Structure 1
Amino acid sequence: MQCIRDGVHQPYSYVVTPNVDHLALLQHNTSFRRAYAKARWRVCDSRVLMPMLHSLGVRVPEVIPGSDLTLDLLAWADRKGLRLVLIGSTEQECLRLQARYPDIRLFHHNPPMGFIDQPEEVERCLQFIREHPSELVFYAVGAPRQEILASAVSSTDRTGMGFCIGASIAFATGSVKRAPVWMQQARLEWLHRMLSEPKRLAKRYFQDLMFIIPAYIRARNQRNNRCNPAKQDS
């Protein structure tokens, strides 16, 4: 958190939260890859992804689920009376958010569906962000839209830090209930979310599964071949 406390007073930067869905999107979305490359930090969001990365020799110090990070930031912002620009979420969620965190100075803009493909709507978002100075900017419009939008804000436009938070406001306001702690610890939060919103998430999680298993096997085989070149030659 100290890095964030310092960062909110520096030229604008933003944070992304890699998970399995993001890895799948990164394979074919060039704008998303550019947004990831520009991010100040990439914080692992997935308890499912971390053990896979560790087995491939990629050291991830810890998993910080985006929902947990959002709650910590909101509590801190409320204690300090910070300003928050929120892009996305409904008016009802904003009212609940303000009731739970009354000392946050909240500025809210909710772009229409499909806004990322409408240059005038993207510019409207960017203008709102530029015209409302704040320590924090929350992008709650889903991947890859939120990351692409976050990357379009220049470090010369303003100060503060942006966070791509997905559906975390819904969890923070109680609109959607998070999985029980035991399911989170057992790396089953994804299952709880899928069962809570099957129409929206079942297809996406199935596609993620069909991507991550072959991708992991390929990466493991490549690592084994690099570590055992003699075996590869034989």
Structure 2
Amino acid sequence: MSSAVNQAFGIDFYLGSKDELLTHISGSLKKPYSYIVTPNIDHVVQFQENEKLQKAYRLADKRICDSRILAPLLKSLGIEVKEVITGSDLTVSLLKKANQEKLSITLIGAAEQDVDKLKALYPYIHLYHYNPPMGFIEKPEEVQKCLDFIYANPSDLIFYAVGAPRQEILASMIDSSRRTGVGLCIGASILFAVGSLKRAPLWMQKAKIEWLHRMCSEPQRLIRRYVHDAVHILPIYVKERSGRRRSSQEVN
């Protein structure tokens, strides 16, 4: 499998395919703990100013491109990922694998009703679930409860479903000498996996406008975020492109 990465916006991106990634994950389930993050436009914007998120990304095993909007920006910078691997698609692939192979999953986040749906859809997964309270990442005692739960429930996979940058920061706090398994920061992917939220039709995904479907599905939560990201990604991209041009000219 290719292990090549390339950097943009301060992030080393994984360039391989989803099948290659799944093979890598399968081979890592019994190894010391590692985790995977899924950068998209919102993450890139947050990454520029959030030192804790920067550290979490630096410590991650893989940083996979989650966004069909981000991928063309990377391509214009000379970084061509083999395929966009959305967190939602990867989550479903891992749930199917876990169900078929009767693997165990520790899930941090997600409401009880969605966990019930998950258990019904994937009955052969051994599931450990803990849902921390809102704002937990700012409360050391609540963070410790999450860490204690993860250590107390060894599993093949750890799904962090508490939103960025909380899930990435939490994932980075696990001591790899204390447990095995592969962590994945999945955001709202569980909601899509169990049908609580509907994915965009395939034609919208291929047309790179899944973001529009999501925004229309959750306008109160996403309109402000998408406008914020659109305003901020442009100067970040221009700065990145200008810096790469300067570096190229200096080399020549």
TM-score range for the pair, normalised by the shorter chain length: over 0.9
Q: What is the aligned length?
A: 231
| Deviation (angstroms), 1:224 | 3.3
SS of 2:160's partner is: strand
1:48 is aligned to 69
**Partner amino acid, structure 2, of 1:86:** L
Q: Which residue of 172, 175, 181 maps to 1:154?
A: 175
Cα distance in 2 for partners of 1:22, 1:150 equals 15
Q: Which residue of 125, 130, 152 maps to 1:109?
A: 130
Superposed CA deviations along residues 51-77 of structure 1, whole A, max 9, x for unmatched, are 111111123222100000000000000
Q: Which residue of 32, 36, 42 maps to 1:15?
A: 36
Cα distance in 2 for partners of 1:225, 1:119 equals 43
Superposed, which structure 2 residues align to 1:52-131 within 5 Å? Answer: 52-131=73-152
Q: Which residue of 192, 206, 223 maps to 1:171?
A: 192
Cα distance in 2 for partners of 1:30, 1:219 equals 18
1:141 is aligned to 162
Gaps of 5+ in 2: 1-21
Gaps of 5+ in 1: 230-234
| Deviation (angstroms), 1:80 | 0.3
SS of 2:65's partner is: coil
Q: Which residue of 198, 202, 206 maps to 1:181?
A: 202
SS of 1:84's partner is: strand
1:212 is aligned to 233
Cα distance in 1 for partners of 2:246, 2:176 equals 42
Cα distance in 2 for partners of 1:30, 1:226 equals 25
| Deviation (angstroms), 1:228 | 4.6
User: How big is the alpha-carbon RMSD for the aligned residues of Structure 1 and Structure 2?
Assistant: 1.4
Superposed, which structure 2 residues align to 1:196-211 within 5 Å? Answer: 196-211=217-232
**Partner amino acid, structure 2, of 1:189:** E
**Partner amino acid, structure 2, of 1:96:** K
1:28 is aligned to 49
| Deviation (angstroms), 1:201 | 0.4
TM-score by length of 1: 0.96
Cα distance in 2 for partners of 1:221, 1:113 equals 40
Aligned-residue sequence identity (percent) comes to 55
